[in-house]
C-alpha cells in the first residue's frame, strides 16, 4: 500500500552547501537531464507567465516538469523576476521548487530554488560553452561579461570548474557600481587581466567568448559587424540580440519550441524570417554530434531554461541533504488521509 511521504523543507543555506564546490557534478547532472530530454524521457510543458498590467517589467513564472531515469521525479519551479529589487539591494530573482513523488504524486519537498536556478543556468551555459568550443577545435582565452550580477558570477564559477582558463576578462554593465563589484570578484579569483569596458561594442570586439546575463527586455545589441571575428556567445538572458545578429549567426538552443516564444531574440528572428531555418539544432544535437558549429563565424547559444534541469539539480540536493540526516520534516503536513474519516 502506497504511503503519503513525509514532507521536508530545504533552506537556501542547505542548497548552497549541497552544490558549492560540486560544480562539475552539477554540470554532469545537467548534461544527463539534457540527454534524457533529447531521448524523450522527460515531460516539459510550456512555462506559464504571471504578469501584472501595472508592473510590466515584473513576472512570476511556473515551470512544471517530469524526469524519468535516475532522477525519477515530477515537480514545479515557481520563480519571480522583479528587476526593481536590484536597486533595493536584493537579487532580482527569488524562487521555490516542489518535488513530487513519481508513484503517488504527493509533494515530498519544498526547496529554496534561486540557487538551484542559478546553478543549473550556469551549468547549462558552461556545458554548452565546452561542447561548442571543443567542436570548433579551440577553447576561448578572452571572455567578456555583459551584465555583472549574480548569474554572471555563477557562470564564471562554472566555466572555471569546466576547465576554462582566461588570459583576459572584460566586464560591461550599465551600472558602474555593479561593474566594479563584479570586477573585484574576478580579480580575487582570476590571474588574467580584467578590464571594464564603457561600451558593449568594445567588450564584444575584444572577446572570443561573450556572456550575456542582463535583465534586458528587448534587443540592445544590433550591429552584426561587432561579431565579425566569430566569437562564441552564451546568450543566457535571451533578449539582448537583434534579429539581424541572430540571422547572421550559427544558432543553438536548448529546446526549439520553448526558446522561440515570448519575444526572445530567436522568436523575433523567426518573426522576421518567417521560418526557423536559422536554428542549427539543440544542445543535445551538439552533444551527440548531430550538428557541428563552424570555426569561423559567430555561434550563439540561447537557452530558454528547462524545468527538467531544475528537477535534476533539486533531486541531487534533496538526496545530499537526506543522506546527511539534516532534512527538516514538517510533522502532520498531510492531514485527514482516511478516505471516509
Residue among 195, 192, 167 nearest 180 (CA): 195
| pLDDT tens sequence across 34-54 | 999 999 999 999 999 999 999
CATH number of the domain to which 25 belongs:
3.30.1780.10
- Is 334 strand, coil or helix? coil
Whether 210 and 241 share a structural domain? yes
- Does residue 222 lie within any of the structural domains? yes
Confidence band of 2 (pLDDT split at 50, 70, 90): low
**Residue 63 buriedness (CB in 10 A; 0-12 / 13-18 / 19+):** buried
Asked if residue 194 and residue 266 are part of one domain, the reply reads: yes
Q: Is residue 148 domain-shared with residue 296, that is, in the same domain?
A: yes
Please provide the DSSP assignment of 190-255 as one string: -SSEEEE-SSHHHHHHT-SEEEE----SS--B--GGGGTT--EEEETTSSSB-HHHHHTSEEEES-
pLDDT at 192: 93
Average per-residue pLDDT for the chain: 95
* pTM, 2 dp: 0.94
**Could you tell me the end-to-end alpha-carbon distance of the chain, in angstroms, rounded to an integer?**
18
- Assigned domain for 3 exists: no
Count of the separate structural domains present in the chain? 2
Residues 141 and 286 in one domain: yes
**Is 125 a domain residue?**
no
Residues 277 and 145 in one domain: yes
User: Any idea what the CATH number is for the domain that residue 244 is in?
Assistant: 3.40.50.720
Q: Please report whether residue 252 resides in a domain.
A: yes
Q: Are 310 and 73 in contact (CB under 8 A)?
A: no
| Predicted local confidence at residue 324, as pLDDT | 95
Whether 185 and 230 share a structural domain: yes
Asked if residue 225 belongs to a domain, the reply is yes
Task: Give residue 95's pLDDT.
Answer: 96
Q: Are 169 and 192 in contact (CB under 8 A)?
A: yes
Given a cut of 50, whether residue 1 has pLDDT beyond it is no
The confidence score (pLDDT) of residue 4 equals: 80
Same domain, 164 and 196: yes
Assess if residue 211 is contained within a domain: yes
Nearest to 14 by CA among 111, 97, 99: 111
Specify whether 162 is located in the same domain as 251. Answer: yes
* Euclidean distance between CA atoms 178 and 159, whole angstroms: 20
Residues 138 and 206 in one domain: yes
Cell numbers for 215, please give them: 535583465
Write out the residue range of the structural domain in which residue 61 sits. 8-116+307-329
**What tens digit of pLDDT does each residue of 260-274 get?**
998 999 999 999 999
Residue 109: helix, strand or coil by DSSP? strand
Per-residue pLDDT, averaged over 247-271, amounts to: 96
Euclidean distance between CA atoms 140 and 118, whole angstroms: 23
pLDDT in tens, 53-110: 999 989 999 999 999 999 999 999 999 999 889 889 888 889 999 999 999 999 999 9
Residue 68 to residue 47: CA distance in whole angstroms: 19
Residue 234 lies in a domain: yes
What was the pLDDT predicted at 336? 82
* 73-77, 221-225, 233-237, 335-339, range with the lowest pLDDT: 335-339
- 270 lies in a domain? yes
Query: What pLDDT was estimated at residue 5?
Result: 84
The verdict on 99 and 149 lying in the same domain is no
Q: What is the pLDDT, as a whole number, of residue 281?
A: 98
Mean pLDDT, to the nearest integer, of 13-36? 97
Q: Are residues 138 and 247 in the same domain?
A: yes
Both 76 and 63 in a single domain?
A: yes
Tell me the C-alpha distance between 24 and 113, whole Å. Answer: 19
Q: What is the pLDDT of residue 92?
A: 85
Q: How far apart are CA 59 and CA 93, in angstroms?
A: 10
Amino acid at each position: 500500500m502506497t504511503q503519503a511521504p513525509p514532507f521536508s523543507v530545504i533552506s537556501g543555506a542547505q542548497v548552497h552547501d549541497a552544490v558549492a564546490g560540486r560544480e562539475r557534478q552539477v554540470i554532469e547532472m545537467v548534461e544527463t537531464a539534457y540527454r534524457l530530454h533529447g531521448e524523450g524521457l522527460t515531460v516539459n510543458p510550456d512555462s506559464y507567465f504571471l504578469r501584472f498590467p501595472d508592473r510590466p517589467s515584473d513576472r512570476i513564472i511556473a515551470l512544471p516538469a517530469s524526469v524519468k531515469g535516475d532522477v525519477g521525479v515530477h515537480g514545479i519551479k515557481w520563480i519571480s523576476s522583479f528587476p526593481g529589487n536590484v536597486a533595493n539591494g536584493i537579487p532580482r530573482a527569488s524562487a521555490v521548487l516542489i518535488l513530487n513523488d513519481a508513484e503517488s504524486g504527493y509533494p515530498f519537498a519544498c526547496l529554496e530554488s534561486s540557487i538551484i536556478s542559478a546553478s543549473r543556468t550556469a551549468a547549462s551555459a558552461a556545458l554548452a560553452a565546452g561542447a561548442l568550443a571543443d567542436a570548433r577545435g579551440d577553447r576561448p582565452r578572452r571572455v567578456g561579461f555583459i551584465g555583472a550580477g549574480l548569474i554572471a558570477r555563477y557562470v564564471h564559477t562554472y566555466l572555471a570548474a569546466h576547465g576554462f582558463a582566461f588570459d583576459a576578462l572584460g566586464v560591461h554593465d550599465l551600472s558602474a557600481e555593479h561593474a566594479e563589484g563584479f570586477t573585484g570578484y574576478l580579480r580575487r579569483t582570476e590571474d588574467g587581466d580584467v578590464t571594464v569596458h564603457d561600451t558593449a561594442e568594445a567588450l564584444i570586439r575584444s572577446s572570443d567568448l561573450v556572456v550575456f546575463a542582463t535583465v534586458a527586455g528587448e534587443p540592445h545589441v544590433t550591429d552584426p559587424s561587432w561579431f565579425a571575428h566569430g566569437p562564441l556567445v552564451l546568450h543566457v538572458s535571451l533578449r539582448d540580440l537583434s534579429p539581424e545578429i541572430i540571422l547572421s549567426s550559427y544558432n543553438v538552443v536548448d529546446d526549439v519550441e520553448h526558446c522561440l516564444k515570448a519575444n526572445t531574440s530567436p522568436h523575433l528572428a523567426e518573426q522576421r524570417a518567417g521560418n526557423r531555418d536559422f536554428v542549427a539544432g539543440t544542445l543535445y544535437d551538439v552533444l551527440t554530434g548531430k550538428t557541428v558549429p563552424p570555426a569561423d563565424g559567430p555561434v550563439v547559444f540561447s537557452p530558454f531554461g528547462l524545468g527538467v534541469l531544475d528537477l535534476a539539480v533539486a533531486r541531487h540536493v534533496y538526496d545530499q541533504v537526506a543522506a546527511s540526516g539534516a532534512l527538516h520534516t514538517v510533522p502532520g503536513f498531510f492531514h485527514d488521509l482516511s478516505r471516509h474519516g
